[in-house]
Structure 1
């Protein structure tokens, strides 16, 4: 028997409720602002999201980047302009289409992205402080499997 978790209506599966609680907390502006405050970069949340995403998949076409971040073209353009002025991103030619431009991290932007990733590691290390190596290994293996199967599920959804 599982207990209903995850808000007023609750999920039938306890796991889904816990995942929803995590997503809700991690996506909340208060949590994200506090976490971003650890970076001392002076970037706002949108700029940090752009840097973080480029840290995963740089360089990117602006339209693709906006789609993945659920940003409108205007919001992305403003962010890219701010980050360009700070020397954190630059526009480069797309090798597959010389007419197109890609948004790319500069050397300084890569340093900021690395700092954002270190903050994520710090958060995880703090949350799991006191966990055994076996518990960490088990969680890591299960999350890797969950992530892989989530990606597969996402691809199936997009094929519908």
Structure 2
């Protein structure tokens, strides 16, 4: 892209890129927060996040703490809460008996599915209220945001 301001595809100047980046980041954070908190009656957001990590593969509490960027004691409390609800189970690590491996239960998988359904429904209602042109912009924006997220 060029800086030719007469072109409808002119590149934004650095200050405008910076302003757009800030606005986009805030909008994404607000949407993310709204979607996360729409289903808190079923599962707390931090529990959902940990369960999604466990859906990828069973992990130790230390691995979960590192991935989630929280302290080990905080993750220990989170895991204990998930065990109490019957959503995760602890098993001894076959390679290191001092460690435990945390994995999802079938009930947890059902909770994840229902939470995702509710979150998708919340978003679907809002996107459904947009006009067709706005929906088309979101289709393109989704492709672009995926590209940005994967850089």
SS, match of residue 92 in structure 1: strand
Unaligned runs of 5+ in 2: 6-11
State the match for 1:35 in structure 2: 38
State the match for 1:18 in structure 2: 23
State the match for 1:81 in structure 2: 80
Distance 1:52 1:91 in 2: 16
Distance 1:121 1:32 in 2: 8
State the match for 1:50 in structure 2: 50
When normalised by structure 1's length, the TM-score is 0.66
SS, match of residue 104 in structure 1: strand
Q: 2:140 aligns with which of 119, 138, 141?
A: 138
Aligned CA-pair RMSD: 3.2
Asked which structure has the greater CA Rg, the reply is 2
Distance 1:103 1:66, change over 3 A: same
Deviations 1:97-132 (A, max 9, x none): 353432111000111111222233224323322354
> What count of residue pairs does the alignment treat as equivalent?
137
State the match for 1:152 in structure 2: none
Distance 1:117 1:123 in 2: 10
Asked if the contact 1:58–1:104 (Cα under 8 Å) also holds between the matched residues in 2, the reply is yes
When normalised by structure 2's length, the TM-score is 0.69
Distance 1:54 1:85 in 2: 16
Distance 1:33 1:148 in 2: 21
Greater RCO (CA < 8 Å, at least 6 residues apart): 2
Distance 1:103 1:117, change over 3 A: same
Following superposition, the deviation at residue 18 of structure 1 comes to 2.1
